[in-house]
Amino acid sequence: MRTSQYHLVTRKETPQDAEIISHQLMIRAGMVRKIGAGLYTWSPLGFRVLRKVEAIIREEMNASGALEMLMPAVQPKELWEETGRIEDFGGQLLAMTDRAERDYFFGPTHEEVMTEFVRDEVTSYKQLPINFYQIQTKFRDEIRPRFGVMRSREFIMKDAYSFHLTAESLEETYRLMEQTYTKILSRMGLKFRCVLADSGAIGGSGSQEFHVIADSGEDAIMYSDDGDYAANIEKCEAVSLLSARAEPENELTEVATPDQKTIEQVTEFLGVNADQMVKTLLVEGVEGPVALVVRGDHHLSEVKAAHLSEVATPLRFLDDKEVQELAGCDVGSIGVKDLNCPIIVDLTVANMSDFICGANKEGYHLTGVNWQRDAEFQQQADIREAQAGDPSPDGQGILKQARGIEVGHIFQLGDKYSKAMNAVVLDENGRSQALQMGCYGMGVSRLVAAAIEQSHDDNGIIWPSALAPFQVALLPMNYQKSVQVKRTADELYEKLTKAGYEVILDDRKVRPGFMLSDFELLGIPHQVIIGDRSLDEGFVEYRHRQKMEKQKIEHAKIFDFLTQHTNL
């Protein structure tokens, strides 16, 4: 490709509304352009990268034996009524009506459509196991789209759905997909981690997420420093930090803590550590309010709390007025003694003794509080977020924390959808069996942003070789005037193109500095600088986008050099 015949529109200035680096660089490089909140047009340049991501996914999915197909983006509302998921998805579903007032959703995911397909087309156990996938545009009406194509409303996703007669067969394909995702992300040259995950609105029994590691990631992931355990913080088991409860030593004492409301204020005021205190949080329960208690230095996991059967979903904290009615004080002085509602404590809290909590009396706290003697709890459960430094739940090593961008999520759904939609096959004995189902998503457009997030510098994008829009950039200095520069560049361009390289030759009439910074921004991995200065001595210059050191290569040898140094 010659730049004169391509469409390159780069910007020197950082766009004002782009917060994270990948969004800034994608706009500056002219890969995408915003048309509305969370809606983007992909330019030819950006689209090339999108296609690279798709191609790798497609190759590896095909290699795994999955079958590509295509489902409609627009789905009849009736399908969603069959599974009752309209509520689960809530406002994220983009609804529309046609001229006959029929209701539709623009698909945010395709379990329903897929299951509808399979229940009619797959009728015998002999057709199983089978794994279908598509690469397609999805729509989710995000409450707040942000970070460019990272969290957009319309996005491209690869979604696969497998069907099985038995749970064992499902497990096998699930593991195969885990391996396939590992291959895909490895080929893209990304640093990533597979972690245990909460299955959210999709549902099912087990699920894992694939995260590209990046400080700007929206998710926190926990992993063992000396073992295989890794989980999203939403899912990560938080073990009890106290193996047994010590005997009470101190008397129950009421102390005045005027105007001390937060844990931080109270610990400072009393001269104690936060791990001697407990936090009592009041939430709406299924039948009246429920108290959730975690240690002072711990955070409540809202995801875990919402999973408790006693707690109403979605999780809602009581407001100031409700707190006042129940505890007789404001939020800063709630405690576990004589609290008139069920109390659910975290595993660590269950083993605490001589602890400090609010006195349910404005401006007072209790010290030397002990379970059984002074207060009772109804249930203990893992309701806190794990934190760095905790022992790993599998007993191997200590947990560390990292930020990740979720680019893939695999689920074992079991028979959740097949039962709801009556998708059955006949087994060997001629008996009707509900299908076992798995689903496997991967964010195609999000991967483009994630790759940039992980690989860039002050001057622009540094594409991993597998995702670069072009492999080689030929950068002639003074192409329009120097006959030997033009000839050298043209010849090399022809030769590389014929040999199958994706080459971009910058034949624009621009100054050298402009051209060089443009290609740093664009992040093309292999760059060949052709100028009179070195050509007079028989050389051209080569540099790799990652290292940027210029290397003199004999003019006659540059083709062989590139052949050796690229993956083609």
Partner RNA sequence: CGGGGUAUAGCGCAGCCUGGUAGCGCAACUGCUUUGGGAGCAGUGGGUCGGGAGUUCGAAUCUCUCUACCCCGACCA
The enclosing H or E element of 121 equals helix 111-121
Candidates 30, 38, 129, 217: give the one binding RNA (CB under 7 A). 38
Provide, rounded to whole angstroms, the least separation between the CB of residue 404 and RNA.
11
Helix (H) or strand (E) holding 537: none
Q: Is the peptide bond before 314 cis (omega within 30 degrees of 0)?
A: yes
| DSSP assignments along 210-275, one per residue | EEEE-TT-SEEEEEETTSS-EEETTT-----S-SSPPPP-SPPEEEE-TT--SHHHHHHHHT--GG
b/e per residue 107-143 (b: at least 16 CB within 10 A)? bbbbbbbbbbbbbeebeebeebbbbbbbbbebbbbee
In terms of Cα–Cα distance, which of 551, 549, 547 is closest to 534? 551
Which one of the spans 79-87, 146-154, 173-181, 356-364 is the region binding RNA (CB under 7 A)?
146-154
Q: What would the two tokens of residue 251 be?
A: 């008397």
Segment 401 to 420, residues that bind RNA, using CB under 7 A: 406, 409
**Interaction mask 423-462, RNA, x per CB under 7 A:** ------------------x-x--x------------x---
Q: Out of 351, 478, 497, 566, which residue is the one contacting RNA (CB under 7 A)?
A: 478
Question: What span, in angstroms and rounded, lies between the C-alpha atoms of 406 and 379?
Answer: 33
Q: Which two tokens stand for residue 234?
A: 């939403």
- Choosing from 67, 96, 201, 246, the residue that interacts with RNA (CB under 7 A) is 201
Report the nearest approach of RNA to the CB of residue 94 (Å): 13
Q: Which of 30, 46, 145, 335 binds RNA (CB under 7 A)?
A: 145
- For position 285 contacting RNA by CB under 7 A, the verdict is no
The residue type of 117 is F
> Of 541, 545, 558, 562, which lies in the binding site for RNA, with binding defined by CB under 7 A?
541
Name the nearest CA neighbour of 53 among 133, 140, 135: 135
Residue from the set 209, 385, 453, 506 that interacts with RNA by CB under 7 A = 209
- Minimum CB distance to RNA, residue 383 (Å): 14
Closest approach of Cβ 53 to RNA, in Å?
13
Q: How far is CA 27 from CA 5, 43, 442, in A?
A: 21, 10, 23
Distance CA(413)–CA(170), nearest Å, equals 9
CB-nearer residue toward RNA: 336 or 407: 407
Quick note: the x/- pattern for RNA over 151-170, rule CB under 7 A, is xx--x-x-------------
- Contact between 517 and RNA by CB under 7 A: the answer reads yes
**Given the rule CB under 7 A, which residues bind RNA?**
10-13, 15-17, 19, 34, 36-38, 92, 138, 140, 142-146, 150-152, 155, 157, 200-202, 209, 218, 302-303, 314-315, 406, 409, 441, 443, 446, 459, 477-478, 480-481, 511-514, 516-518, 520-521, 529-535, 541, 550
